[in-house]
Amino acid sequence: MGATLGVAAVPAQATTTTCPTGWGSLDESRAVGTADPVTKARTGRHACYDRLVVEVPGADRSSLGYSVRYVDRLHQDGSGRVIPVGGGAVLEVRVAAPAYDPETGSPTYPGRAGHPLPGVDLDGYRTFRDARFAGSFEGDTQFGLGVRARLPFRVLRLDDRVVVDVAHSWTAKR
C-alpha cells in the first residue's frame, strides 16, 4: 500500500484596504488663475477612489485655481446650455486656466463641448460613470464628472495639474 499525501486547504486571507477619511462633499475652490493652458485631462483608478487629473503645463501650485462642486445639472459657461452628464450625481470641475492659447485663441485641449473627454475610458471604474468637456470661457475650463452618487471628494493642486479624487464610499474601509 502506498502512502497518500494530503494537502490541507488554507482559507485565503481577506485583505482590508484602509481608505482616507475626512473628505467631504461640500464645494472646494481656490481663487487664483493662470494663462498657462490646459492640454490634457485623464483619469485613473485607485483602491479607494477614482481620479481625474487636469494637466496645465507651465503652471505652478500657487497659480492654479479651481472650483469643484456638486450641481443638479451642468450648465456651460457663456451659453448656459445644459450639458447632459450620466451618473447619480454630477461634479462640476472648473480649472482657472484656458483650454486655448491666450495669444492666438488656438485650442490646446482636444475636447469638444458636450462630448466625452478624449482618450478617457471609464469601463471598470467603481465611482466614475461619465466625464464630459463643457468648454473653456474667459480663462476657465469646465468639466462635468458623472459619479455613482454624491460621494466625498478632495482636490489637490500639484505643479502643472489639478487632481480631483472621488471616494468609492463614505466608509473608511473597502
Split at pLDDT 50, 70, 90, the class of 6 is very low
Residue 172 has pLDDT above 50, yes or no: yes
pLDDT (tens digit per residue) in 7-20: 445 455 556 677 86
Closest by CA to 91, choosing from 121, 115, 140, 127, is 127
Q: Going by C-beta distance under 8 Å and a sequence separation of 6 or more, which residues neighbour residue 20? A: 48, 49, 154, 167
Q: What is the CATH topology of the domain spanning 28-167?
A: Immunoglobulin-like (2.60.40)
Task: Check residue 13 and give its pLDDT.
Answer: 55
The whole-model pTM stands at 0.87
Instruction: List C-alpha distances in Å: 102 to 95, 106, 140, 166, 171.
Output: 15, 8, 11, 31, 43
Residue 153 has pLDDT above 80, yes or no: yes
Mean pLDDT of 67-72: 98
Mean pLDDT value across the chain: 90
Assess contact for 76 and 126: CB atoms under 8 A: no
